[in-house]
Amino acid sequence: MCAAIALVVLDSRLGLIQKKADSEAIHLIRSIGDMFEMINYLEFSMVRLWRWFETPSWKRFAGCLDTLSRCTRDKQKKITIKIKVSYTSHSLAFLLYDLSVHPDIQEKLYRDICAQCPDPSVPISRENIDNLPLLKACFKETLRTVMTLYFVYSGSHKDTHTNCCRLKPVVDGTARILDVEAVVSGYKVPPGEMFIFHNAQACRLPQYFPEPEKYRPERWLTRDSQRHPFLHLPFGFGIRSCVGRRLSEQETFLLTIRILQKYRLEYRGTGQLDYFTRIVNKPDRPLKLAFIPR
């Protein structure tokens, strides 16, 4: 995932899938992970000393940013782009997990893939992917049950990204700082207020998603007039929506097709895969999958 995104965004190969990966590339990937961890820690500490002093955690965070800047300075690309590499890999991990623990769905998808892309050596076309609605539905359902992203807010007042405090159940979504007054469900929201779309919460309402806790991709295969399209916005909406969406989806679909063409997936981990929040919601344990040749 990182390798492919770096190729598109940074126009260079990180060499991560070679036997001996470039140490600078490994350093870059580690820094991305550390950076998320430190943002989470710094934001949610009870006492935020880092606001006044350069605490060790702050220095570690700043070190990560330095590494990220150094690694991409030559390429003259923005940092916001490169930190997104984790989103796609975590989403793919959750999708493969969901398929591995739902063998019936995996088998159905495999049959669709065989019908659409019978020869694994032939390149996969846009049309092939368009003709695999179940694949798209599975990904949508994975993103519904596990929102990859915690909170992102944007608006003219603050053009930045941040996260909010963790609630249970986890409420993830996007937010905007309003430019103008708005009336929503009879509530007047003044300009300058942050307006949060609790998509993850909305996605779990049984009146729109019967048996919301169940992984049921087929719910996306039929149009439900009761279900407003804005209930599920994993990539946000509008001019500030995710610019990496197409890349991320394409990568996920291609990889899933290629994997399922050759292997049957079985989950070999202990316990259910859950997630914790490092701004990006990531798997809470190593994903142990068996790839059984078909």
Q: Which residues bind ligand HEM (CB under 6 A)?
A: 5, 9, 80-81, 84, 87-88, 91, 148-149, 152, 154, 174, 234-238, 240-244, 247-248
Q: Least CB distance from residue 81 to ligand HEM, whole Å? A: 5
State the minimum distance, in angstroms, from the CB of residue 80 to ligand HEM: 5
Complete DSSP assignment for 216-272: -GGGGSS--TTS-GGG--TT--GGGS-TTHHHHHHHHHHHHHHHHHHEEEEE-SSS-
Nearest distance, CB of residue 291 and ligand HEM, angstroms: 22
Give the integer Cα–Cα distance in Å for 84 and 235: 12
Query: Which residues make Cβ contacts (< 8 Å) with residue 55, sequence separation at least 6?
Result: 49
Minimum distance of ligand HEM from residue 52's CB (angstroms): 30
Query: Is the Cβ–Cβ distance between 71 and 27 less than 8 Å?
Result: yes
Measured from the CB atom, the residue of 123 and 238 that comes closer to ligand HEM is: 238
Tell me the closest approach of the beta carbon of residue 2 to ligand HEM, in angstroms.
10
Task: CB nearer to ligand HEM: give 206 or 238.
Answer: 238
Taking the C-alpha atoms of residue 11 and residue 228, their distance in angstroms, rounded to an integer, is 39
Main-chain phi, psi angles of 149, to 5 degrees: -105, 140
DSSP 129-193: HHT-HHHHHHHHHHHHHS-SB-EEEEESS----------SS---EEEEE-SS-EEETTEEE-TT-
Q: Which is nearer to ligand HEM, 62 or 247 (CB)?
A: 247
Closer by beta carbon to ligand HEM, 72 or else 88: 88
d(CA 195, CA 154): 10
Q: What are phi and psi of 281, to 5 degrees?
A: -80, 125
State the minimum distance, in angstroms, from the CB of residue 268 to ligand HEM.
Answer: 24
- Closest to ligand HEM by CB, 45 vs 80, is 80
CB of 145 to ligand HEM, least distance (A): 13
The smaller minimum CB distance to ligand HEM, of residues 5 and 135, is found at: 5
Nearer to ligand HEM by Cβ, of 236 and 289: the residue is: 236
Task: Reply yes or no: is the peptide bond before residue 118 cis, omega within 30 of 0.
Answer: no
